[in-house]
Amino acid sequence: MEAAERLSLEAFAKEIRIATIESIANLGVGHIGGAMSIVDLLALLYGRVLRVDPARPTWEGRDRLVLSKGHAGPALYSALAIKGFFPREWLATLNKGGTRLPSHCDRLKTPGIDMSTGSLGQGISAACGMAKALQIDSSASRVFCIIGDGESDEGQVWESAQFAAHHRLGNLVVFTDSNRLQIDGYTDEVMGLGDLEAKWAAFGWYAQRAPGHDVEAIDAAITKAVVEARGRPSMIVLDTIKGKGCSFCEGDPANHNMNISAEQARAAIAALA
Amino acid sequence: MAETLPEMRSVYAQTLVEIGAQDPRIVVVEADLMKATGTGPFAKAHPGRAINVGVAEATLASVAAGLSVEGKIPFAATFGCFASRRAFDQFFLSANYAGLNVKLVGTDPGVAAAFNGGTHMPFEDLALMRVIPGLRIVEPSDPVSLAAYVHLAAETYGCVYLRLQRKAAPKLYAEGERFEWGRAKLLRDGRLDGKKEHAVVVALGAIMVGEALKAADLLAAEGLGLTVIDALCLKPLDSSLILEAARRSGRLLTAENHQASGGLGSAVAEAVAESGLALRFARIGIKDEFGEVGTQDWLQDRFGLRAANIVAAVKSLN
């Protein structure tokens, strides 16, 4: 990746963070932590990796993205709005009655959202079904999916792991946002996950680990997956910080869903700018 | 009967083979029960379009939803107990809430689960499914209606729950009979000798429609006319046909291989209550009990799902 592109993606990530803090602060409460931890990944995906067309959100030849950790929707909405999938003014309606941007992703409401999610574990399963359909059709489109580490407590995640490996879904790339926090505390304390990378590899996936706030490193992992996976589905475990880039809550175990004041938001945005 | 009756599951599978030959979007999704559902012929006819998820009913429903996102028309099947109780959230959210096109098939309804016993005996699948907004729910009563509703399910965009008895069932309809969503069938007119019938029974599924027809014969021998309506669709419910028939005699019964509460009995009771009609009303079904193991015959006796129970209930409505 050239330096100019890296800078441009980092600027995009900053813009997503600011828009996300603004939209959540506008309501006063929201899932800030898990939204901020996937921002750099979203900037890379929408800035470089995904073949998508904001003017044609259901274009058949596009790459798909399933945000299985559906509560991080606000970060994805910011990325989609900045890319022009819908007017930026929509961001101010987040979670308000009648909005097209609900707390958890809804394919019927938001242009650019490929699957409705929110009940954890289901999104990755649906992504498997989408990848299977594209495989049947010999499509060149790929399916990307983002799950949480807390979400990985769900048995359905591991049913999906088996399904994708068995069906050799080489068109599926899944990221685990490993921010090591879940609602009740640190994942190691609430429900230990062990070595996620080794677990996915044991399930027959091409598994890697990458620093999740480094767009160049994530990009390199995706590129490597394309070369090395050889028909296997890919897992990239991203080491992230919950609340990353949000000055008042970065790494705070209480940041899953929290109240945000206008003053906090202003300070956080000033710190980013 | 000279003609050997086909198993209902064979009708299901053969119909999908035929539709699948015309429409490449049709896919079959199974959770290690392909041998039970009998969709092997589909896998043979359309290799690559029969997808096994293993013993994983949650994934069955969500993978089917994902296939639907990409324009496939998935027919996903498992025992009714698992299709409803085990995959409910997945069918609810991934398929229905997401506005997709998943056909979920629950086999071995109620006492048809027989030797698998109480753990596998869905007396509650319809009650659960009925509260999913916009879901179409159908329990075909014979091979002709089954084939017709599989066709309708494939042709109609939106989620469907199809309750499927795997065993053979006698033909009740002529080939070519037309069926629609939300339309019941008047199967036996109980107006004997031009007089209005004594009562009307609305039955759901092959077992209870069969018992209702037997009850009509028994009552006819006593000079009492029983009109039999084959409900077919639990949702949308054909309340206009049911209420129109019930209005004449003022006596209405429901008969279902399911809890008497939450399914057909409740749906009809709601329609009656809201209609303002004053009717005598009774429900044949499971009375707030769990299932248990036994032959289907024994279980029908055990849970009161017999023509004799319908006859007794009709006579109790005075």
Residue B167, phi then psi, degrees to nearest 5: -70, 170
A84 conformational bin, left if phi > 0, alpha if psi -120 to 50, beta if neither: left
Residue A209 banded pLDDT, cuts 50, 70, 90: very high
Angle at alpha carbon of residue B37, lines to A135 and B123, rounded to 5°:
120
| Residue B194: per-residue pLDDT | 85
| Residue B193: per-residue pLDDT | 86
- Fill in the DSSP letter of residue A70: G
pLDDT tens for each residue of A125-141: 999 999 999 999 999 99
Closest alpha carbon to B186 in B174, B207, B201:
B201
Helix runs in A203-261, H state only: 215-228
Q: Where are the domains of chain A?
A: 3-272
Q: Do A131 and B66 touch (CB under 8 A)?
A: yes
pLDDT tens for each residue of B128-177: 999 999 999 999 999 999 999 999 999 999 999 999 999 999 999 999 99
Residue A162 C-alpha, separation from nearest chain B C-alpha, in angstroms: 9
Q: Which of B3, B18, B30, B57 does the annotation list as catalytic?
A: B57
* Neighbouring residues of B186: CB distance < 8 A, sequence distance ≥ 6: B227, B228, B229, B241, B245
| Residue B318: per-residue pLDDT | 82
Q: Do B70 and A134 touch (CB under 8 A)?
A: yes
Checking if the pLDDT of B2 tops 60, the result is no
Checking if the pLDDT of A124 tops 70, the result is yes
Asked if residue B49 lies in contact with residue A137, where contact means CB atoms within 8 angstroms, the answer is no
Residue B298 banded pLDDT, cuts 50, 70, 90: very high
Q: Do A125 and B68 touch (CB under 8 A)?
A: no
Query: Which residue among B64, B72, B98 places its CB closest to the CB of A115?
Result: B98
Chain B partners within 8 Å of A166 (Cβ):
54
Task: Using CA coordinates, name the residue in chain A closest to B65.
Answer: A126
Looking at domain A3-272, what is its CATH homologous superfamily? Thiamin diphosphate (ThDP)-binding fold, Pyr/PP domains (3.40.50.970)
Q: Do A156 and B99 touch (CB under 8 A)?
A: no
The ipTM is 0.96
Which residue ranges form the domains of chain B, and what is each CATH number? 8-164 (3.40.50.970), 185-316 (3.40.50.920)
Best interface-test mutation with B: which of A136, A158, A174 has the largest number of B CBs within 10 A?
A136
- Whether B49 contacts chain A with CB within 8 A: yes
Task: Using CA coordinates, name the residue in chain B closest to A109.
Answer: B98
* Cα–Cα distance for residue pair A129/B101, rounded to 1 Å: 13
Mean pLDDT of B5-18: 96
Q: Do B53 and A159 touch (CB under 8 A)?
A: yes
| Residue B3: per-residue pLDDT | 66
| Residue B8: per-residue pLDDT | 98
| Residue B170: per-residue pLDDT | 96
Percent of all residues in chain B with a pLDDT value above 70, rounded to a whole number: 99
Do the bridges between strand A258-259 and strand B136-138 make them parallel or antiparallel, or are there none, so unpaired?
unpaired
Best interface-test mutation with B: which of A117, A130, A171 has the largest number of B CBs within 10 A?
A130
- Mean pLDDT score across all residues of chain A: 97
* Neighbouring residues of B17: CB distance < 8 A, sequence distance ≥ 6: B41, B42, B45, B46
A&B contacts, CB < 8 Å = 103
pLDDT tens for each residue of B23-56: 999 999 999 999 999 999 999 999 999 999 999 9
pLDDT tens for each residue of A60-119: 999 999 999 999 999 999 999 999 999 999 999 999 999 999 999 999 999 999 999 999
- Mean pLDDT score across all residues of chain B: 97
| Residue A152: per-residue pLDDT | 98
Mean pLDDT of A260-273: 95
User: Strands, E, within A47-89: which ranges?
Assistant: 64-67
* Cα–Cα distance for residue pair A205/A221, rounded to 1 Å: 14
Q: Which tokens in the block code for residue A40? A: 């750099």
Task: Using CA coordinates, name the residue in chain A closest to B25.
Answer: A133
Amino acid at A32: I
Question: Is B57 an active-site residue?
Answer: yes
- Fill in the DSSP letter of residue B30: E
Full DSSP string of B304-316: T-SHHHHHHHHHH
* Cα–Cα distance for residue pair B154/A80, rounded to 1 Å: 34
| Residue A249: per-residue pLDDT | 94
